[in-house]
Amino acid sequence: MNHGHAIYKLAKALWPINRSITGDGVRETLSIIKTELLDLTLHEVPTGTQVFDWSVPKEWRVREAYIQAPGGQRICDFKKNNLHLVGYSIPVKKRLSLQELKGHLYTLPNQPDAIPYITSYYKERWGFCLSHNELQLLADGEYEVFIDSDLFDGSLTYGELIIPGSSDLEVFISTYVCHPSMANNELSGPCVTTFIAKELLKKSRNFTYRIVFIPETIGSITYLSRHVDHLKKKVIAGFNVSCIGDERAYSYLPSRNGNTLSDAVAKHVLKNLCQQYVSYRWSDRGSDERQYCSPGIDLPIASIMRTKYGKYDEYHTSLDDLVNVVTPDGLEGGFNALWKAIEALENNCYPRVDVLCEPQLSKRGLYPTLSTKSSGAEVRLMMDLITWSDGKRSLIDIADLCNAPVWELYPILEKLCEHKLMTKLDINLAPVSSRSNLLVETLS
């Protein structure tokens, strides 16, 4: 079943909303997602709340913003494209010369058609973004700047959905809702995540799924400040979902320590979906894994992406759109990779063969009875699964040893279990990192 078009449709619906790290744009976005995920809960965290080393910033609201040119026409109109306004711009209404105005204008000379995406969350500023081509056309004269915005004590909003499973051990999925109209580096994440959640709701699940839609950085810090002890006890794997909607590449970014279950699963899935996937290093990090994997937090969070933030020309500009960058096929591919990773977590176990020496497969109809020069190859995968099933290796590791996608092993393992040749031992899950307690104690 192809989810690409449905995900794409949701992305189009969310496209025009002016999201930032706080404000009604986030609420509106989450309320639309809630029509797909009825149990999504919205949380509000008041401005000024201390969250580790940070505090929740003021809420930002924009009603209108534009510049009136000397000729009278409006330029940089926030209503036409919300990227025109620098994020968190303070209110302003004043007249300036072109020279003075230019100190508040941002363009990308190397991408003259693109409107850049600029924010200033933690220092009060104002500014406008426009294409370099448009800047070149501005005539001398007096410009009137009008920004009808508020920075006020409000709250930071995030969405949370807990989908229970047989076990209270958790898979944690985080995506962000804090950028205005951009496609891959914003909408692909929450839209694919929404459909992952919908799919999870249709199945029985071994693990509990904790899915959050948050503003990047301050949102993950806020969420961690409220839930770190629980997360460290329960989360056995997870993914940060970002930039997962284009068709140009598949990409992996590791957790900080690089060898968690999430890392093993992500690498296995991507290697078997696409031999040319791009493998980044921790030094290439740039999204909420920075918080989830920080020293003392150390959650097992890896990233499965299509083309990574910062690695495509349109990134953080108006060109990151639903036409040339994000497509239904791109979203479908991203969904598929993430879903295969979740399936790999759900199916993971330590298989153990329950006979000594190779089992006699032919008496069970599992083996060709006529030995010929080529018949050996036909049951090779079954034999390879059996030979590595010593109860000490995970199914993911065994799939790597068999040089086969783990999903090709699921039906074979089922068949061998039905014939009482194999037992699936529970995977030995250790969600709590041993080091963290020490640091938390030191800090408290």
Nearer to its own copies, 132 or 285 (CB): 285
Amino acid letter for position 335 = F
Q: By CB under 8 A, which span of 22-30, 69-77, 113-121, 238-246 interacts with its own copies?
A: 113-121
Nearer to its own copies, 70 or 391 (CB): 391
Q: By CB under 8 A, which span of 61-69, 143-151, 268-276, 387-395 interacts with its own copies?
A: 387-395
Whole-number minimum distance, CB 1 to its own copies, in Å?
34
User: What does the CA dihedral 117, 121, 122, 128 come to, rounded to 10 degrees?
Assistant: 50
Q: By CB under 8 A, which span of 28-36, 38-46, 180-188, 435-443 interacts with its own copies?
A: 435-443
- Binding its own copies by CB under 8 A: which of 81, 294, 336, 347? 294
Euclidean distance between CA atoms 271 and 266, whole angstroms: 8
Which tokens hold the place of 424? 């699936």
Asked if 403 touches its own copies (CB under 8 A), the answer is yes
Whole-number minimum distance, CB 311 to its own copies, in Å?
12
Asked if 424 touches its own copies (CB under 8 A), the answer is no
Whole-number minimum distance, CB 297 to its own copies, in Å?
6
Which tokens hold the place of 425? 């031992």
184 CB neighbour count, 10 Å cutoff: 31
The residue whose two tokens read 């076990």 is 167
- Binding its own copies by CB under 8 A: which of 13, 32, 90, 118? 118
Euclidean distance between CA atoms 33 and 12, whole angstroms: 12
Residue 137: alpha-carbon gap to chain centroid: 39
Which tokens hold the place of 436? 């963290």
Residues 258-287 that bind its own copies (CB under 8 A): 282-283, 285-286
Euclidean distance between CA atoms 305 and 310, whole angstroms: 12
Nearer to its own copies, 395 or 402 (CB): 402
Asked if 316 touches its own copies (CB under 8 A), the answer is yes
Asked if 369 touches its own copies (CB under 8 A), the answer is yes
Asked if 384 touches its own copies (CB under 8 A), the answer is yes
Euclidean distance between CA atoms 339 and 347, whole angstroms: 12
- Binding its own copies by CB under 8 A: which of 13, 15, 43, 52? 52
Whole-number minimum distance, CB 337 to its own copies, in Å?
26
Euclidean distance between CA atoms 430 and 87, whole angstroms: 41
311 Ramachandran zone, left/alpha/beta (phi>0; psi -120 to 50): alpha
Q: Which of 110, 87, 85 is nearest to 314 (CA)?
A: 110
Whole-number minimum distance, CB 429 to its own copies, in Å?
20
Euclidean distance between CA atoms 135 and 242, whole angstroms: 31
Asked if 35 touches its own copies (CB under 8 A), the answer is no
- Binding its own copies by CB under 8 A: which of 373, 411, 428, 441? 373
Asked if 125 touches its own copies (CB under 8 A), the answer is yes
Euclidean distance between CA atoms 339 and 343, whole angstroms: 6
- Binding its own copies by CB under 8 A: which of 134, 144, 354, 397? 354
Burial 108-143 (b: 16+ CB within 10 A, else e): beebeebbbbbbebeeebbbbbbbbebbeebeeeeb
- Binding its own copies by CB under 8 A: which of 99, 276, 371, 428? 371
In sequence order, what are the beta bridge partners of 436? Answer: none
Residues 213-242 that bind its own copies (CB under 8 A): 217, 220-221, 224-225, 228
Tell me how far CA of residue 41 lies from CA of 44, 108, 158, 222, 241, in angstroms.
Answer: 10, 39, 8, 16, 19
Asked if 141 touches its own copies (CB under 8 A), the answer is no
Residue 66: alpha-carbon gap to chain centroid: 33
Asked if 443 touches its own copies (CB under 8 A), the answer is yes
Residues that bind its own copies (CB under 8 A): 52-54, 106, 108, 116, 118-123, 125, 217, 220-221, 224-225, 228, 256, 282-283, 285-286, 290-291, 294-298, 310, 315-316, 352-360, 362-363, 369-373, 376, 380, 383-384, 387-392, 401-403, 435, 438-440, 442-443
